[in-house]
Structure 1
Amino acid sequence: MGIVVVPLFDEKVEAWKAWAKSLSNEKSNEFNDFNKKYGLTRHNAWLAETPGGKVVVALHEGPGADDFLQKVAESNDSFELYFKEKLTEFHGMNFDAPPLPMPVQMI
């Protein structure tokens, strides 16, 4: 299982909500194929408020969860390029930089 917590730019909240909704609607077939390709059986995201601002908490479950983002970062397939573009737009993620370590379970 992978959990990612990333800040969400204030000016991008409504655009992120629309994008998230599109992954369950008009882009659902592509999103489902994308998840199957990377061995994810569950891929959910929540919008959360923190004292530091809004964040997105994403959960990736399935046999491909541990290296999911690393594999997406290396891909040049069309949906993966689109997905990375959106993550960069909304969260400032840099897929050219080394990946950040995944959260470590403490309890």
Structure 2
Amino acid sequence: MPSDAIRTAPRLERLTAEEARRRLEHARGTRLVQLQALTDTGQSADDHLMSAQRDAIGRVLKEIDAAFARIEDGTYGTCVACAAPVPAERLEILPYTSHCVACRRGAV
């Protein structure tokens, strides 16, 4: 294999299912701590900022659950929009992402 191919080959194969699960568990734990901290503030449930934060955390928790399901069905690391591999670097930063950068940009 030429050295250029080694440097440019996707690093996806280096992110094992176990490593992905570990990253997702960490992300889930972090979000649950954040959610608990919001609850512990004693702020009114009518506080719009607190409500928006809880909703955002809830959305991320759903994305994390969906990522676990993608690991189980073998589609983790594949963009759900275009079926291209999601770069390992992106998965390292956002282990629950379901889109490659190009598709995410188009979705926003």
Decide: shared fold, TM above 0.5.
no
Q: Which has the larger radius of gyration?
A: 2
Q: TM-score, normalising length from structure 2?
A: 0.32
More helix by share: 2
Greater relative CO, 1 or 2 (CA 8 Å, sep 6+): 1
